[in-house]
Amino acid sequence: MLKIKRVYDDPGPSDGFRVLIDRLWPRGLSKDNAKVALWLKEIAPSMELRKSFGHDPAKWEEFEAKYERELDRKQELVSQIKDLEQKYKVVTLVYGSKDQQHNDAVVLLARLRKTKGKRCASRG
């Protein structure tokens, strides 16, 4: 099972394996308090895309489409998360954004669910 959660929310046993998917480490949060098992910053949106979006909901559809295209080029990382789900059964993708509806985790989770069970060609 894949879930998303703000990294600032209290970690819990139901989170399973926690993966931080942001390019930047969350401000004011120590590594001990974050309880992150893996920081997969390479799967985050590019700095250029992140800055152009600026967490502006009016730019959401454009951000979503562009990040989807970036994820097309990051299939190895998408597969890595799927592998973690197979191994740990529960994987929580954690992110720092205050906006829980308009952030990269929402797009990534949708991609992972859409391609559930599919593998990228290079991973067999």
pLDDT, tens digit (0-9, with 9 covering 90-100), for 43-80 = 999 999 999 999 999 999 999 999 999 999 999 999 99
Answer whether 6's CB lies under 8 Å from 116's CB: no
DSSP 91: E
DSSP secondary structure, 14-42, as one string: GG-EEEE--SSPPTT--HHHHT-SEE-GG
The arithmetic mean of pLDDT across residues 79-91, rounded, is 97
Which has the closest alpha carbon to 81: 45, 119, 34, 47?
119
Q: If pLDDT is split at 50, 70 and 90, which confidence band does 123 have?
A: very low
Residues 96-105: tens digit of each pLDDT: 999 999 999 9
Reported pTM: 0.89
Q: 3-state DSSP call for residue 89?
A: coil
Mean pLDDT score across all residues of the chain:
92
